[in-house]
Structure 1
Amino acid sequence: MRDKRTTIANAVSLLNDGDTLGIASPAVSPTALVSMAAVREIARQGKRDLLVVNAMAELETDLLAGAGCLREVEFWACQFFGQGTPPNIRRLMEAGQLRAREHSEFSFTLGVMAGGMGLKFIPLHGFVNDLVPQHPEWRTFDSPFDGQQLLAVTAIVPDVALIHVPRADQFGNAQFGDTNRDNVAAKFIAPQMVRAAKRVILTTEEIIPNEQIRATPDQTGILYHDVDAVVLAPRGAHPHGVTGYYEPDRDHIQQYHQAAQDPDKFRAYLDTYVHAPEGPAAYAALIGGE
């Protein structure tokens, strides 16, 4: 195992313009494993022409859209904490400047599962709905066993995946802590997307000794061989929360939502919270974190 600690700027250099970016995060809660530290750095570096794949496109995807980083987004749900479609995503879609493709929860899960297992596709029976025409990469074929027609749901394989965790060692072994409890996205979808990706950027609230990881193997959800970069990023999920570390910053979420309604106000938001802070420590100081 090698020491993979680096800066957020160096880690994000793994992402190239035109890449597919997977955002590995739980899909139903503002207390999430969303690497906002990496998202902000992607916007700060001005990455362009990205396809984002995210189970639930929320604030993190909206920020990248508003910063001009995206050409397309794929998701099974797209909403802003129960307040409708995220403002930048909605505005850009209506203007024809951002393409969006929907999955069902099931097809997204199968795509990530296939990618995580190194398969080209997973077969599905009886999946006939209005989502199929949106995915020309899906194919129908006859089962070699009984001749039934099946749908091949193709693998989701990001060029780069982002994930934020409560704690990890310097090699990339990571633990979800209390976030893992009763959370199918943390237990399954996020780790599978990490396994599926060609390169993985992991940000963490704290870096702990490998001996502590080995002492609690039941809490380890990501292993070192799937991770390319480890970045210490306290408050790295803000304004999302991390269970056991800090709560979601609902005031900031509302501040973001209001700013994103207007392009000029959103540019001011980016200047303050994305372009000005040079890295996670500066951002944590800006928002009043420890």
Structure 2
Amino acid sequence: MGKFLPLEKAVKNLVVDGATIAFAGSGGRASYSFAYELIRQHMQHLTFCSAGTGAVILDLLAGAGVVDRAEIAFTLTNSRNIRRMIEGHRSRRLAIEDYSNLAMSFRFMAAALDLPFMPIRSLRGSDIERRRGFVGDHKIKEVVSPFLSERVALVPPCSPDVVVMHAQEVDEDGNVRIVGPVGSDDWTLKAGKKVVITAEKLIDSKITRKDPNNSFFPGIRVDAVVIVPWGAHPSALPRFYRSDYEFLNELTQRSDSDRSFREWLDEWVYGIKSHASYVAKLGRTRLQTLKSGTSFKSG
């Protein structure tokens, strides 16, 4: 149980200013609780990496001054902090290197397999290939295949200093169990130099040993575990709770200006000492409403 830490200590011990951090968690398993704690501890100059997970988290971190650079597949049209930074309406700017979902997934895969690059067909001739930011010439390379004599694009590995994901369950050994879409989460976690799992629920290791095929990621590869109920809020967590669209809509509206966003941070992040206090502020009625109708069927 030595890898089990409080949220505050997990951030303090594993993340340093200037680090590269990736958020895994397809289908609603992004760790908002970890993102809030990054803001609360005034982390700076982070680089954010994602294959399509955590677009709202990126807007939060960028707006709070935590993230300077991003290597991402996309962001959202309602990412208003990012828009102001890109358009020069803020003193701080956000540097973005744009890839596709597949390209970022391949970059994590390359790092996970300890490969120097990964070939990809879909980028050649696209604006993603032509437009280059802070990565410059090392964003994408083209070579002639030694086997087929055709040109192919290559993307570099992406090996974040820390990868964070929220999970439904984790056992005492750190073995991770999830429900819902997987996406590129496995490759993203394996690409990280350090892995942090925030989890909704702690389960007995006997459950894992009895049903090992339902384990998603091995505890031996996990560096820190934090048990954080409602750790993915305001996103959904299959089998536990639905997305809190009322909360997300309010966040979008209050991101309209630097002043209103700062007031939102003061209310929901800086003014709250812990994630437990955040959950208490949400209120029992709201939480019960989000829990209703959360069954998940696969297939």
Calculate the TM-score normalised by the size of structure 1: 0.89
1:101 and 2:97 matched:
yes
Deviation readout 1:40-98 (Å, 9 max, x if unpaired) = 0001111111110122352111110110011111221211xxxx241111111111711
User: Is the contact made by 2:46 and 2:69 (CA closer than 8 Å) also made in structure 1?
Assistant: yes
The question of whether the paired residues in 2 share the 8 Å contact of 1:169 and 1:210 is answered with: yes
When residues 226 and 258 of structure 1 are mapped into structure 2, their CA distance, relative to the original with a 3 A threshold, is same
Matches within 5 A, 1:22-171: 22-26=22-26, 29=27, 32-56=28-52, 57-79=54-76, 84-95=77-88, 97-125=93-121, 127-128=123-124, 129-133=126-130, 134=132, 136-137=137-138, 138-171=140-173
| CA contact 1:25–1:55 (8 Å) conserved in 2 | no
Farther-moved stretch of structure 1 (125-134 vs 161-170): 125-134
The total of aligned residue pairs comes to 274
Counterparts of 1:35 and 1:279, CA distance in 2: 14
Q: Deviations over 1:104-144 (max 9, x none)?
A: 12211211211222222112346412212325213233333
**Superposition pairs for residues 175-214 of structure 1, below 5 Å?**
175-177=177-179, 179=180, 183=181, 186=182, 188-214=183-209
Matched residues in 2 for 1:126 and 1:189: separation? 17
The letter for the 2-side match of 1:12 is V
Corresponding residue for 1:240? Answer: 235
Question: 2:164 aligns to what SS in structure 1?
Answer: strand
Q: Deviations over 1:199-237 (max 9, x none)?
A: 111100011111112222222111112211100100000
Secondary structure in 2 matching 1:77: coil
Structure 2 unaligned blocks of 5 or more: 288-299
Distance 2:70 2:171 in 1: 32
Structure 1 residues 124-179: Cα deviation after superposition (integer angstroms, max 9, x where no partner): 346412212325213233333344333221111111111000110133211112x2
**Residue by residue, what CA displacement relative to the aligned partner does 1:228-261 show, whole Å, maximum 9, x if unpaired?**
1100100000101111111111111111111111
Write the letter of the residue equivalent to 2:5: T
Q: Does the Cα contact within 8 Å between 1:3 and 1:171 map onto a contact in 2?
A: no
Native 8 Å contact 1:140 1:149 kept in 2? yes
Q: Is the 1:3–1:170 contact (alpha carbons within 8 Å) kept by the matching residues of 2? A: no
* Pair 1:5 & 2:4 matched: yes
Distance 1:287 1:125 in 2: 46
**Unaligned regions of 5+ residues in structure 1, if any?**
none
Identical residues among aligned pairs (%): 28
The secondary structure found in structure 2 opposite 1:51 is strand
One-letter identity of the residue aligned with 1:50:
L
Secondary structure at the counterpart of residue 131 of structure 1: helix
Q: Distance in 2 between matches of 1:276 and 1:216?
A: 42
Per the alignment, do residues 143 and 85 of structure 1 end up closer, same or farther by CA in structure 2, a change over 3 Å counting?
same
Q: Which amino acid aligns with 1:140?
A: E
The corresponding residue for 2:296 is none
Cα distance in structure 1, aligned partners of 2:227 and 2:253: 30
